Amino acid sequence: MAKVHYFYSTMNAGKSTSLLQSSHNYEERNLNVLLFTPEVDAKIHDSFIHSRIGLKKSAQVFNETFDFVDYVYKENKKRVSCILVDEAQFLTSKQVKQLCRICDEKNIPIMCYGIRTDFRGELFPGSLALLSLADNIIELKTICEYPSCSRKATMIARYDKHGEIVLEGNQIDIGADKYKVYCRKHYRELTKII
């Protein structure tokens, strides 16, 4: 029986690399895989899922009105062996439910990769829904960026162009150069949010 898997972490933990490796594994066996990336990220990366180590692959772009059920049931005529979603934090709750429906009705494994919380330590809507509904929740780990710290990074801090920590603002602001990842202790000390 197929399952919905949610792979989450902070930035720089290899989520997109892992997704692309999974895609490769299916395709090596001549199995059809559907890859999805959010519009907000696709605008910057020309509709490719990309990893920081240089891997990339073309993907179907989704936005907040995209209907996964319509796409998989009506538009896509090939047999689908797996669905992979990058930047899954940008899914809506409704879209997560659609992916669960596809998994349950079509017996297609769904693998979603995303960030759990934003720079304020608050859950993204897609992450909240996946944490609630996914069959498997898997944490991908990376290390705190604070000097001399080797703890697991669990939090993301946003910086402005002057190198100052940002404590307020829109939840979404794309650009890896604006963020650093920290363990909770150093995030708390740097932001005073917790």
Residues with catalytic function:
87
Q: How far apart are CA 103 and CA 107, in angstroms?
A: 5
Q: How far apart are CA 108 and CA 110, in angstroms?
A: 6
Q: How far apart are the first and last CA of the chain?
A: 41
Q: Is 46 left (phi over 0), alpha (psi -120 to 50) or beta?
A: left
Residue 9, class by beta-carbon neighbours within 10 Å (0-12 exposed, 13-18 middle, 19+ buried)? buried
Q: How far apart are CA 128 and CA 163, in angstroms?
A: 30
Tokens describing residue 2: 């197929």
Asked if 123 and 17 count as a contact pair (C-beta separation under 8 A), the reply is no
Asked if 144 and 107 count as a contact pair (C-beta separation under 8 A), the reply is no
